[in-house]
Amino acid sequence: MKNKAKYLAYPYIVWMAIFIVIPLLLVLIYSLTAGNVNDPSSLSFSVESYTRVFDVMYLKVIWKSFKLAIISTVFCLVLGYPVALIISNVKAKYKSILLMFFLVPIWMNFLLRTYAWMAILSPNGFLNRVLSLLGLPTLSIMPGQTAVVLGMIYNFLPFMVLPIYTSLSKINRNVLEAAMDLGANNFITFLKVILPLTVPGIISGITMVFMPAVSTFVISQLLGGGKELLIGNLIEQQFTVQRDWHFGSALSIILMIMILISMAVMSKVDTDNGNGGAPTW
């Protein structure tokens, strides 16, 4: 069985070579060449795309993407952990209903949710209408960095809550009781027992928020008014407007490397519990 079964995977290995490895290789090749993309014979080796990235202007973009992504991730963590905690402590019969209602927004289309946020934050949108009805000054949040961060938090909060919740629900009640028996109050129990046990969930949550946040272009495009360019927007621009595939590829490779480094750093913090390297859901 063992010998034969492994052949089941071979077609997929071919598939992976074609659709995962080769595309990335192509991007790598484009990033390391210059010349007309449509005319392969005109391509010549060059690292100029990479050296361009080290221009202050682009480094600022990368820094901004990281900054906003980190802010959103921190907010998601701070806001989301209590939610996971509360839901996990709720009576069993309410737990699944609460969780279900928490999941509903995720199942609604991501673009629709971002657009909904636009409807609220825009100068004549819902928020400002309510504020002016109440006689309060209107806010001009959108478009701008605040709106982008809000959009990120809004879209990614459930992805922080879920892994933490899963971690929490795996904690054996007996452990908590033991801690209590040994004289720990609620706060110490939380700090010394619960928190450490949920580290895998936290790491998972951070990954699932930070990664899409740092590479998004939709949220920054729709909520940033074309003024807040993040890495994702830069890459998108290179391919859709600027027609500079070499530079776009270089940016993509750099983004990819940065993400891989961040994930490697995070997995150092977390000890793998045998899931085959897969993020714990």
Partner 1 sequence: MKRISVLFLSFLLIVTSLIVLPGCNKDRVVLNVFNWGQYINPDLLTKFEKETGIKVNLELFETNEHMLAKLEAGGTAYDVVFPSDYVIEEMIQKDMLYKIDFNNIPNFKYIGDRFKNLNYDPTNEYSVPYFWGTLGIIYNSEMVDEEVDSWDILWDEKYAGKILMLDSMRDTIGVALKRLGYSVNETDPSKLEEAKNLLIQQRPLINGYYVDEITDMMINGDAALALNWSGAAMDIYWEGAEHIKFAVPEEGANLWFDCMVIPKTSRHKAEAEKFINFMLDPENAYLNSEYVGYASPVTSVFERLMEENPEIADMDAYNPSEEVLDKCEVFIDLGDKRPLYNQIWTEIKVE
Partner 2 sequence: MVKFLKRFYLCLIFIFLYAPILVLIVYSFNESKSRGHWGGFTLKWYGELFRDRDIIKALYYTFLVALLSSIISTIIGTFSAIGIHNMGLFGKNFALNINYLPVLNPDIVTGVALMTLFISVNMRLGFLTMLISHTVFNIPYVILSVLPKLKQMNKHMTEAALDLGATPAYALRKVVIPEIMPGVITGALIAFTLSIDDFVISFFNTGSGVTNLSILVYSMAKRGVKPSINALTTLMLITVVILLLLINKRTTKGDELLP
**Which partner, partner 1, partner 2, none, binds residue 237 by CB below 5 to 8 Å per kind?**
partner 1
Query: Is residue 86 at the binding interface for partner 2, with CB under 8 A as the rule?
Result: yes
**Which partner, partner 1, partner 2, none, binds residue 44 by CB below 5 to 8 Å per kind?**
none
Least distance between partner 2 and beta carbon 278 (Å): 5
Query: Is residue 40 at the binding interface for partner 1, with CB under 8 A as the rule?
Result: no
Query: Is residue 38 at the binding interface for partner 1, with CB under 8 A as the rule?
Result: yes
Tokens for 236, please give them: 């998108």
Task: Show the CA angle centred on residue 141, arms to residues 140 and 145, nearest 5°.
Answer: 140
Query: Is residue 57 at the binding interface for partner 1, with CB under 8 A as the rule?
Result: yes
Closest CB to partner 2 among residues 45, 56: 45
Q: Which of 241, 264, 265, 278 binds partner 1 (CB under 8 A)?
A: 241
Name, in order, each residue with C-beta under 8 angstroms of 277's C-beta and a sequence gap of 6 or more.
Answer: 267
Query: Is residue 139 at the binding interface for partner 2, with CB under 8 A as the rule?
Result: no
Query: Is residue 225 at the binding interface for partner 1, with CB under 8 A as the rule?
Result: yes
Name, in order, each residue with C-beta under 8 angstroms of 227's C-beta and a sequence gap of 6 or more.
Answer: 143, 144
Handedness of CA 225, 229, 234, 235 (dihedral sign): negative
Beta bridge partners, 33, equal: 45
Among residues 172, 157, 261, 151, the alpha carbon closest in space to that of 205 is found at 157
Instruction: Specify the length of the chain in residues.
Output: 281
Name, in order, each residue with C-beta under 8 angstroms of 156's C-beta and a sequence gap of 6 or more.
Answer: 72, 73, 76, 208, 209, 212, 213
Of 96-155, which residues contact partner 1 (CB under 8 A)? 122-124, 140, 143
3-state secondary structure of 220: helix
Name, in order, each residue with C-beta under 8 angstroms of 102's C-beta and a sequence gap of 6 or more.
Answer: 83, 87, 158, 161
Total number of residues that touch partner 2 (CB under 8 A): 94
Contact of 87 with 107, CB cutoff 8 Å? no
**Which partner, partner 2, partner 1, none, binds residue 211 by CB below 5 to 8 Å per kind?**
partner 2
Contact of 161 with 102, CB cutoff 8 Å? yes
Stretch that binds partner 1, among 57-65, 148-156, 206-214, 264-272 (CB under 8 A): 57-65
Least distance between partner 1 and beta carbon 226 (Å): 4
Least distance between partner 1 and beta carbon 40 (Å): 12
Least distance between partner 1 and beta carbon 85 (Å): 39
Tokens for 210, please give them: 């930070």
Of 242-281, which residues contact partner 2 (CB under 8 A)? 245, 248-249, 252, 255-256, 259-260, 263, 274-279, 281
**Which partner, partner 2, partner 1, none, binds residue 107 by CB below 5 to 8 Å per kind?**
partner 2
CA distance 78 to 10: 44
Query: Is residue 279 at the binding interface for partner 1, with CB under 8 A as the rule?
Result: no
Q: Which of 143, 201, 224, 232 binds partner 2 (CB under 8 A)?
A: 232
Tokens for 76, please give them: 């998601």
Q: Interface residues with partner 1 (CB under 8 A)?
A: 38, 57-58, 60-61, 122-124, 140, 143, 224-227, 229, 234, 237, 239-244
